Amino acid sequence: MARSKDWIPAKNLLFKEFQDTFCAGADDNQAGWVLDPGKVTILLKLQKTYLGFYAITAVKNGFTGLDEANTASAKKALKKAVRTMGIDEMKTNANMTDEDRLSVGVHNDSGTHTAAPIEKTSPVIQGSNKGSLGYQIIHSSAGSIKSHELPAGQIGIITKIGFYKKGDPVPTEDLCTQMDILGKSPAMITFNGTNFGLLFIGFARYINSRKQLGLVATTFTGVVS
């Protein structure tokens, strides 16, 4: 069976040139392409480490075997981060054009995928206190309460929680101070100890693979204990 060519170059010089373009594109366009900021930060940190070692081994006869091993290890880690970013964040990213993908060396898959929709319904939420400062969320869609399946294109829910004392105004969603992205159900939320004993209100919305929030939120309430 024929083996398809890897989209990430293996040879050192070609990889160096490839990652320069890829990392610069991810850094410069992370907002416009709606890339995961955490993954971009990890990518650039690994790139910095790799470039530091590469600069040493790029000087003929100016490096040791340990330098060479360090460069190879740093390259392996960066290559893994590049592959993750390319596959998870770019190949089917509706915020990128085919030209955008080609500009950073990523294969185009846009023609074989439908952009994840923005969910128009809200999740069904069941919540309960678990242990000290813990809160368990069981979420499901209205159409699959027993199976807890997510609507098409959704990767989980995002919760925003606001805290208040009895008699004080109840926070609106935009004033909530704790945010969590929850994948599979059930999932756990951990409260900060400074909020112990306070009332809280939570707002839960679906979030899709393009990092877009659902149109409708479900509210849930409780006491931090």
Whether residue 141 is found in the same domain as residue 88: no
Whether residue 41 is found in the same domain as residue 64: yes
Whether residue 108 is found in the same domain as residue 128: no
Please name the amino acid found at residue 41. T
Whether residue 75 is found in the same domain as residue 147: no
List C-alpha distances in Å: 192 to 132, 183, 186: 10, 21, 20
The DSSP code for 174 is G
Q: Are 175 and 169 in contact (CB under 8 A)?
A: no
pLDDT in tens, the chain (225 residues): 344 567 899 899 999 999 999 999 999 999 999 999 999 999 999 999 999 999 999 888 888 999 999 999 999 999 999 999 998 899 888 888 888 999 999 977 655 556 678 899 999 999 999 989 999 999 988 766 677 788 888 888 999 999 999 999 999 999 999 999 998 888 999 999 999 999 999 999 999 877 789 999 999 999 999
Region class of 197: left (phi > 0), else alpha (psi between -120 and 50), else beta: left
Domain end, chosen from 112, 147, 179, is at 112
Q: Could you count the other beta carbons within 10 Å of the beta carbon of residue 170?
A: 12
Whether residue 171 is found in the same domain as residue 147: yes
> What is the model's pLDDT at position 172?
96
Domain end, chosen from 83, 112, 141, is at 112
Whether residue 154 is found in the same domain as residue 97: no
6 located within any domain = no
Whether residue 101 is found in the same domain as residue 19: yes
104 located within any domain = yes
What confidence tens digit (pLDDT) does each residue in 125-166 have? 999 999 899 999 999 887 666 777 888 888 889 999 999 999
Region class of 180: left (phi > 0), else alpha (psi between -120 and 50), else beta: beta
* Residues in contact with 186: Cβ distance below 8 Å, sequence separation at least 6, in sequence order: 136, 137, 138, 139
Q: What is the DSSP string of 175-207?
A: G--EEEEE-SSSEEEE--GGGTT-EEEEEEEEE
Whether residue 102 is found in the same domain as residue 165: no
Domain that residue 218 falls in: 124-223
106 located within any domain = yes
The structural domain count of the chain equals 2
| Distance between CA atoms of residues 134 and 48, nearest Å | 38
Whether residue 20 is found in the same domain as residue 104: yes
> What is the model's pLDDT at position 60?
83
* Residues in contact with 79: Cβ distance below 8 Å, sequence separation at least 6, in sequence order: 8, 15, 19
Whether residue 130 is found in the same domain as residue 218: yes
132 located within any domain = yes
119 located within any domain = no
Q: Are 119 and 214 in contact (CB under 8 A)?
A: yes
Whether residue 74 is found in the same domain as residue 129: no
> What is the model's pLDDT at position 88?
87
